[in-house]
Amino acid sequence: MLERPRRNRASEAIRSMVRETRLDLANLIYPLFVVDGAGKEDSIGALPGISRFSEDKVLKEVEVCMKLGLRSFVLFPAVEEALKDKEATYSYSEENFYLRIISSIKREFPESCLVSDVAMDPYSSDGHDGLVENGKILNDETLDVLGKMAVAQAQSGIDIIGPSDMMDGRVQHIREELDDEDFQDVAIMSYCAKYASAYYGPFREALESAPKSGDKKTYQMDPANKWEALREAELDVAEGADFLMVKPALLYLDVIHLLKEKFELPIAAYNVSGEYAMLKAASANGWIDYDVAMPEMLLSIKRAGATSILTYFAKEYAQMLKEGRLA
Ligand code: PBG
Instruction: Kindly give the distance from the C-alpha atom of residue 83 to the centroid of ligand 1, in angstroms, as a whole number.
Output: 20
289 has a pLDDT exceeding 80: yes
Nearest in space to 105 (alpha carbons), one of 70, 78, 129:
70
Residue 203 C-alpha to ligand 1 middle, in angstroms? 6
Contacts of 249 (CB under 8 A, 6+ apart): 256, 269, 270, 271, 272, 275, 301, 306, 309, 311
Residue 327 has pLDDT above 80, yes or no: no
Separation in Å, CA 96 to CA 123, 146, 160, 272: 10, 15, 18, 25
Q: Is residue 200 in contact with ligand 1, taking CB distance under 6 Å?
A: yes
Q: Tell me if the pTM is above 0.95.
A: yes
Distance 282 CA to ligand 1 centre (A): 22
Q: Is 227 helix (H, G, I), strand (E, B) or coil?
A: helix
Q: DSSP 3-state assignment of 67?
A: helix
Ligand 1 contact, 275 CB (< 6 A) = no
Out of 30-44, 184-198, 201-215, pick the least confident: 201-215
At 131, is the secondary structure helix, strand, or coil? strand
Report the pLDDT value the prediction gives residue 200, as an integer from 0 to 100.
96
Q: Is 119 in the pocket of ligand 1 (CB under 6 A)?
A: yes
pLDDT of residue 207: 86
Band (108; pLDDT cuts 50, 70, 90): very high
How far is residue 170 CA from its own chain's centroid?
A: 17
* pLDDT tens figures, 208-258: 889 999 999 999 999 999 999 999 999 999 999 999 999 999 999 999 999
pLDDT at 253: 98
Rounded mean pLDDT, 20-28: 97
pLDDT at 139: 97
Please, what is the average pLDDT of the chain? Answer: 97
117 CA: nearest ligand 1 atom: 6
Question: What is the gyration radius of the CA atoms in the chain, in angstroms?
Answer: 20
Q: Is the peptide bond prior to 31 cis by the omega test (within 30 degrees of 0)? A: no
User: Active-site positions?
Assistant: 194, 247
pLDDT at 176 over 80: yes
Q: How far is the CA of 261 from the centre of ligand 1 (A)?
A: 26
Residue 127 has pLDDT above 90, yes or no: yes
For ligand 1, pick from 84, 129, 164, 197 the residue to mutate: most ligand atoms within 8 Å of CB: 164
pLDDT for the residue 209: 85
Can you give the pLDDT at residue 47?
A: 96
Q: What is the pLDDT of residue 224?
A: 98
Best CA proximity match to 324, nearest among 283, 299, 291? 291
Pocket-testing residue among 79, 98, 121, 218, ligand 1, by greatest number of atoms within 8 A of Cβ: 121
* 121 pocket-lining for ligand 1 (C-beta < 6 Å): yes
